[in-house]
Amino acid sequence: MSTVALHQKYRPQTLVELVGQPYIKTALTNAVKSLQIAPAYLFTGSRGTGKTSTARILAKSLNCLNTKKPTDKPCGICQSCRSIESSNSLDVSEIDAASNNGVDDARALIERCTLAPVAGRYRIFILDECHCLTGNAFNALLKCIEEPPAHVVFILCTTELHKVLPTIVSRCQVFNFRTLSVQAIVQHLRIVADAESISIDNEALTAIARLSDGGLRDALQLLGQASLLDADITANHVMEIAGGVTETELMAILQAIATNSTFRLLQVARELVDFGKTPKLILSNLLQTYRDLLIIKSAPKEQALLTGCVSHTQLKAFANHWNFETLNLSLAELQKAENYLRYTVNAAVWLEVCLLNLMPSLLPVGATKTVNVKPGHDGKLLPTFGTYTINKVTDKSGDGKGEDSLLPAVAANTANLAQIWLSVMDKAKPNHQKLLAHAHLVKLQDDKAILEVTPAYQKKFENSKEAIAKMLQRATQSPKPLTVLIKTTNHSNNGRVRG
């Protein structure tokens, strides 16, 4: 025995039940009451906002047989109402314009317009996804839509208004269905959850509302999917179902950053990637979280402005760890990292580099930060994490702005090497960025820089060594020219360095 999906079971049946569209509800109600029925309507808006449902409601309002004239409260039990709800009415035709989009289909529709209604007052044509009609089909319908027979009403529905001919738009009453607010979706979901005896907390409902992007149908679909879990539904459950990063995982990242725990941060990042969370998704969720932290810092009581999945209580506890400047710098780093992900061949590494750049070790100009170092077998420091300083130098261009200069200590600091290479890519031209994404800076000492490149791009890097050397010299503010050496990871040449 099949069950009815929630978005179908709780589809509005009258204009009063329409959710989140007060202007449209009022306008159509008054139009039906005053019998000011337009020959053609155009419903446009994002998916799941109620366009097709409103078209059916309007059709029932015009053809309800339990009243002597059109009513804004169709009965839902007469033959006309029931046949419209089941999409088999002789007087109301729902046409899928995506599969009936030719000029011949338009001519057949025009011929049907001449027929009188069988049982109701109007013959109504609902053209769903009307933007799929060809230009010739639109032109064929122009005259019929502008001056149809008195008993004919056209209702066109589309998610892409810009694809509809302006001549068609000008002949219709246009109703713009806006995306629903988070509050409106949460209120409706709570009504449905209570009616269906679904155990779900308010934070989970808010997470569903934010994930649905203002579409009520998507929200109901996600609620129905979450209801299949044999547990009380929480926000973490919702994020797992939707494939997002959960609050617990984001909290682990923030905790590692706040405590300057390098190992824990890299461990969490690797676990997320191993569990199937893409670097782009992780950075996107982290960007939302830092944006929420900035809001908490500036307006602690404005919970309605939060868009991420981390709760207000948790954000408030973490907001005390950073000041405005640190949060702004972190947001800038996250934005740059999203751009780098477009060109890189190793997104997981760039994710780790970005997360390391968010740690307190990257302090404002003039600050020094020491983190753990690891001695090698010969007593020297391995190229992991060491002590480094960012100093202010005078800008030789004379504009007084000054630049950040990286001291020679970067030779023993992998985090700094990655930061230098990010700086080089950031200042490079777009066509150079695609090439530079296939290399890593593995050593920078004195006047020599060693790049580890993908074997397939070795020749291109050999030909671009001079240009790369100049980029590195500018990024490091080195007083003397640099020599770039190319190292490949190809086993056939045993990682040989080429000068």
At 451-476, the pLDDT tens digits run 888 888 888 888 888 888 888 888 77
What local confidence, expressed as pLDDT, does residue 490 receive?
Answer: 53
Q: Can you name the residues that pair with 443 across neighbouring β-strands?
A: 450
Query: Does the pLDDT at position 317 exceed 90?
Result: no
Read off the pLDDT band of 303 (50, 70, 90): confident
Task: Identify the residue whose tokens are 């995982």.
Answer: 249
Cα separations in angstroms, 342 against 130, 350, 434: 35, 11, 9
Query: Does the pLDDT at position 188 exceed 90?
Result: yes
Give the C-alpha separation, 354 to 226, whole Å.
33
| Rg of the chain in Å (alpha carbons) | 31
- Indicate the pTM of the whole model: 0.66
Quick one: average pLDDT of 229-245? 85
What local confidence, expressed as pLDDT, does residue 396 receive?
Answer: 38
What local confidence, expressed as pLDDT, does residue 418 receive?
Answer: 77
In CATH terms, is domain 6-177 a member of 3.30.450.20? no
Quick one: average pLDDT of 178-189? 91
Contact between 98 and 27 (Cβ < 8 Å): no
Read off the pLDDT band of 407 (50, 70, 90): very low
What local confidence, expressed as pLDDT, does residue 395 receive?
Answer: 38
What local confidence, expressed as pLDDT, does residue 489 receive?
Answer: 66
At 321-372, the pLDDT tens digits run 778 878 888 888 888 777 777 777 778 888 888 888 888 655 343 333 333 3
Per mean pLDDT, which range of 143-147, 203-207, 272-276, 394-398 is the poorest? 394-398
Give the C-alpha separation, 93 to 429, whole Å.
56
Contact between 68 and 32 (Cβ < 8 Å): no
Quick one: average pLDDT of 233-251? 86
Q: Please write down the HEC assignment for all residues of 125-170.
A: EEEECHHHCCHHHHHHHHHHHHCCCCCEEEEEEECCHHHCCHHHHC
What local confidence, expressed as pLDDT, does residue 3 receive?
Answer: 76
Higher per-residue confidence, 179 vs 385: 179
* Ranges assigned E (strand) in 358-466: 368-369, 388-393, 403-406, 439-445, 448-453
Terminal Cα distance for the chain, rounded: 73
DSSP three-state, residue 50: coil
Residues 6+ apart with CB under 8 A from 479: none
What local confidence, expressed as pLDDT, does residue 361 receive?
Answer: 58
- Domain segments of the chain as ranges: 6-177, 182-242, 247-357, 368-498
Cα separations in angstroms, 296 against 223, 313, 364, 431: 28, 10, 22, 39
**Mean pLDDT over all residues of the chain?**
80
Higher per-residue confidence, 243 vs 405: 243
Read off the pLDDT band of 118 (50, 70, 90): confident
Read off the pLDDT band of 177 (50, 70, 90): very high
Beta-sheet strand order (sheet of 173-177): 92-96, 123-128, 152-158, 40-45, 173-177
| Percentage of the chain modeled with pLDDT above 90 | 22
In CATH terms, is domain 182-242 a member of 3.10.20.30? no
What local confidence, expressed as pLDDT, does residue 480 receive?
Answer: 76
In CATH terms, is domain 247-357 a member of 1.20.272.10? yes
| Percentage of the chain modeled with pLDDT above 70 | 86
| CB-count exposure of residue 325 (10 Å: 0-12, 13-18, 19+) | exposed
* CB atoms closer than 10 angstroms to residue 401: 8
Structure tokens at 312: 């207000």
Q: What is the CATH number of domain 368-498?
A: 3.30.300.180
Do 247-357 and 368-498 show the same overall fold? no
Query: Does the pLDDT at position 445 exceed 50?
Result: yes
Query: Does the pLDDT at position 134 exceed 60?
Result: yes
Read off the pLDDT band of 409 (50, 70, 90): very low
